Amino acid sequence: MSRIRFYFDHSLAGYFLRRAREKWFTRPPQRVNHHGVTLQVDCLPQEMQGILLAGRYECAEVALIPGFITAEDKVLEIGGAIGFLGLYCRKIAGVKEFVSVEPNPKTIAYLRSNYELNGIKPVLIEAALAAADGPVQLQISNLFWTDSLVSKADQSTGQPITVAGLSFASLVERAGLQFNTLIIDIEGGEKYIAFSDLPEAVTKVLIEIHPEIIGMEAYKVLETLIRSGFSVQGHSWNTWSLQREKAFRPRGQG
């Protein structure tokens, strides 16, 4: 009997039976531990579940944060998504003061749920970084990491929703936090950052730029940071960590 089972398992019929079981009878896990953070995955679209289960979500940021963001830092995160980076900074890096900015109501629900799973209460601003204060159109899809205020060539699967928009200066004021660290990942919306309004206390920036969405403007963001006294500490793909020792403003800026 064991020999028959062996030959069946290694036959074409056995292969298709295993695939059928995996597809239709194997339930995916409800939660996953991703770099020490518990995340709910069964509520997410299948593509997102696959990326999380494979451990490939926010890999660049996880590679850059250790040794860059410390427990003493006070962080404003623009683009909170489902809360992973905020929770990673809180649980693993030991950050105590952390404010997240996220505009998509559905994604905000994921974020709140994940914070609850980890026993932490989020501090959240429900708005999008925009050129000016007021309602804006956010293009969304099932894949939350494609949400953007910036028009893209392929938005066939997206739909616009109206959300609150805040300028960078208004976000800084609304945060009510004397933060020294910025984390930014907003799918091309980085072009709306008014670095002339960057508080002097800010000495660290972790930013993902999106040249595939806004072209050379993405690199101008890095250039502006460097002109403002920041130096590159590290980068992974399109994610960069930059730091300055003290406040610096070139003449003619601000």
CATH code for position 55: 3.40.50.150
pLDDT in tens, 89-127: 999 999 999 999 999 999 999 999 999 999 999 999 999
pTM of the model: 0.83
Alpha carbon distance 149, 23 (integer Å): 36
In a domain, 229, yes or no: yes
Instruction: Evaluate whether 203 touches 245 at the Cβ level (below 8 Å).
Output: yes
Residue 226 lies in a domain: yes
- In the numeric block, the tokens 């518990």 are attached to 38
**Residue 10 pLDDT > 70:** no
Q: Determine the Cα angle at 174 with ends 239 and 232, to 5°.
A: 25
Element (H, E) at 134: strand 134-140
Amino acid 153: pLDDT: 47
> CA torsion angle for 243, 247, 253, 254 (degrees, to 10)?
110
- Residue 10 within any structural domain of the chain: no
| pLDDT per position as a tens digit, 55-77 | 889 999 999 999 999 999 999 99
Largest CA distance in the chain: 84
| pLDDT at site 52 | 86
**Containing H/E element for 242?**
strand 239-243
The confidence band for 14, taking pLDDT boundaries of 50, 70 and 90, is low
Domain hosting 203: range is 30-243
pLDDT at residue 62 in the model = 95
In a domain, 204, yes or no: yes
Domain annotation covers residue 179: yes
Question: How many Å apart are CA 214 and CA 121, to the nearest integer?
Answer: 34
Cα–Cα nearest to 189, from 80, 108, 112, 56: 80
Q: Is residue 193 part of a domain?
A: yes
User: What is the pLDDT, as a whole number, of residue 7?
Assistant: 52
What is the count of structural domains for the chain? 1
pLDDT exceeds cutoff 90 at 50: no
Give the bridge partners for 128, in sequence order.
165
**Residue 61 domain flag:** yes
Instruction: Give domain status of residue 78, yes or no.
Output: yes
